[in-house]
Amino acid sequence: MSSNKTMKWIEVGKILAEDPNEKVQCPECEQNNLEVQDIRNESNPNELERSMHCPVCNARNVLRLKRPI
Ligand SMILES: [Zn+2]
């Protein structure tokens, strides 16, 4: 992964941390929007994992978010 793509993942992570319904292009292939899925961490209910997945190139990244109690 090039540092340029790393920067793009950071950018899309910021956007999707604010609004998971935002349409954001995949930083890897730029062919498709990322699909977002929230996964609860059962052992730590204050934390939420927001998975970002591209169905075209199968790129995947996970954001760790603090949930308001
Ligand atoms: Zn992709």
What is the model's pTM? Answer: 0.85
Q: Residue type for 37, please? A: Q
pLDDT tens readout for residues 27-58: 999 999 999 999 988 888 899 999 999 999 99
What is the pLDDT averaged over residues 62-66? 93
Could you tell me how many helices (H) and strands (E) the chain has, helices first? 1, 3
What is the pLDDT averaged over residues 14-29? 96
Higher pLDDT, 3 or 18: 18
What tokens does 49 get? 């994992």
**What is the predicted pLDDT for the residue at 69?**
62
Q: Residue type for 39, please? A: I
d(CA 28, CA 14): 16
The ranges assigned to domains in the chain are 3-66
Spacing, Cα 43 to ligand 1 middle (Å): 31
High-pLDDT (> 90) share of the chain, %? 78
Spacing, Cα 27 to ligand 1 middle (Å): 7
